[in-house]
Amino acid sequence: MKLDVVFSPLGLLPGQATGRTIVVIDILRASTVICAALHHGARAVLPASTTEEALRLSQTIGAADVVLCGERGGLPIQGFAHGNSPLEMTPAAVRGKTLVMTTTNGTPALLATQGAAAVYVAAAVNLGVAASVVRDALDARGELLVLCAGRERTFALDDAYTAGRLIVAALGSSRKRTGLNDAAIAALELARRYGTSWEPPLKASRGGADLLALGFEADIADAAREDAYPVLPLYHDRRITAAPAPASLL
């Protein structure tokens, strides 16, 4: 078994993503927002690296059902319909819509997975289904890479803790924890250190502290609701859609 965790896109080695199954984590907040949007009926989410690219994409698609969302510095982008809050992803706002999304950390992490065999999105809100993907990938291919978005492309406690919780949920108590890189071992230690309550590590992180200062405590509470949005976001051909449930859940 080979299970690698990388704490930010800058930690990816050349070719490390090529041909691999990857799970991307940005719990505060892009991963949570993507899960909420798809759970509430969005057709797809298209990640963009910059505000300008997001605007170009929306204009190129040119359909009435295209919605811009995202953030810079944690705050909604002027002229965009929605920010980067899962609480904005209501059925009335997103059902049947294609979202074009750009965020400081989450969308760059997704775009860094070019060449991967399959890319999924994970958070607390879809932990169960994401853990099933990890188990299936390890059973089928014997390997998996967990990519944390991090904070401004450096280590982020909230994403690393989530990676540890994902590994614990996927491996359970019976599977041997061999073949983990040092970052995966560190993520497991964070999961052990903070236990099973999501809000303390999320609020303790720098990203969480910034959101609290901006008045987004409710977003953190929503991101901490384990399995609240049990969908499996699959990133393929520059778009994220809800994939069928893993075989292990059927």
pLDDT for 64: 82
> β-strand 66-72 against 75-76: which pairing, if any?
antiparallel
Q: What is the H or E stretch that residue 25 is in?
A: strand 21-25
| pLDDT band (50, 70, 90) for residue 247 | low
CA distance 230 to 32: 11
Domain-located, residue 210: yes
Domain-located, residue 209: yes
Tens of pLDDT, residues 5-56: 999 999 999 999 999 999 999 999 999 999 999 999 999 999 999 999 999 9
Residue 72: what are its φ and ψ, rounded to 5°? -140, 130
Domain-located, residue 39: yes
Domain-located, residue 245: no
Q: How many domains does the chain have?
A: 1
pLDDT at 226 over 70: yes
Radius of gyration over alpha carbons of the chain, in Å? Answer: 17
Domain-located, residue 77: yes
Domain-located, residue 250: no
Tens of pLDDT, residues 179-216: 999 999 999 999 999 999 999 999 999 999 999 999 99
Q: What average pLDDT is seen over the chain?
A: 95
Tens of pLDDT, residues 102-152: 999 999 999 999 999 999 999 999 999 999 999 999 999 999 999 999 998
The closest alpha carbon to 28, from 152, 191, 186, 181, belongs to: 152
pLDDT at 174 over 90: no
For residue 209 the two structure tokens come to 């502290």
| pLDDT band (50, 70, 90) for residue 171 | very high
pLDDT for 139: 93
Domain-located, residue 153: yes
> What are the residue ranges of helices labelled H in the chain?
30-39, 51-61, 91-94, 106-111, 127-141, 157-171, 182-194, 199-204, 206-214, 217-223
pLDDT for 175: 74
Residue 52: what are its φ and ψ, rounded to 5°? -65, -40
pLDDT for 7: 98
pLDDT for 250: 57
CB atoms within 10 A of CB 193: 11
CATH code of the domain containing 69: 3.90.1560.10
Range of the domain at 137: 2-236
For helices 182-194 and 157-171, the axis angle rounded to 10 degrees is 90
Domain-located, residue 241: no
Residue in this structure with the two tokens 């919605």, named with its chain if needed: 67
